[in-house]
Amino acid sequence: MLTLASKLKRDDGVRGPRASNPASDSTRRVSVRDKLLVKEVAELEANLPCTCKVNFPDPNKLHYFQLTVIPDEGYYQGGKFQFEIEVPDAYNMVPPKVKCLTRIWHPNITETGEICLSLLREHSIDGTGWAPTRTLKDVVWGLNSLFTDLLNFDDPLNIEAAEHHLRDKVQQSWLSCCRWFDLLRRTFGIKLKITLSAMRDDEGRWMAEPWLPY
């Protein structure tokens, strides 16, 4: 990123005059946050997931940027989801503030953009929350994983969305099983019909999830 080099040079220029003008130190010094961000943004851009893009509206303000996630697998494959990330002055003692700008039906993201991600929690009793050792790279990778392996149905923020996803998942499983049963029925005939009949109750409802030996 071209602005990183210019920012580093500017920071060096700010540090130079300090020795000759101590009175202006409080107004010119670069904050701990900004020093960290110069390094962390460079690390982030060098290790960005292939499904993510970052954009800095103002190259001189590394504490605010936008993230676009375009999942290449799972429920949200092909979608385009935007987040805004703002790094507070107290960083890295506190986590960045993140909001989802794209309206989405997701168990861990509300329709108004609030996000449930453990590493963004300032206080966490299970030890998975924010810590000063975490970086922007961890935040971006965590947000990206919300669409794959960190999709959490057990502790949802949007309970209705989680229940909807689970219902769809069960329905898709049944459809998949039915296709297999239909294929096997046509292959093996009456023997499979007896098995299918035995798995339904008197009202025709499934008594248990079908099991197929492989």
pTM of the full structure: 0.66
Tens digits of residue pLDDT in 130-145: 999 999 999 999 999 9
What pLDDT sits at residue 165?
72
**DSSP 8-class letter at 152:** -
Helices (H), 87-158: 136-145
CA dihedral of residues 137, 143, 145, 148 (deg, nearest 10): -160
Residues labelled as active-site residues? 116
What pLDDT sits at residue 80?
95
Tens digits of residue pLDDT in 163-198: 767 666 655 555 555 565 566 556 655 454 444 444
What is the identity of the amino acid at 93? M
Tokens coding 134: 């975490």
How many other CB atoms are found less than 10 A from the CB of residue 146?
A: 24
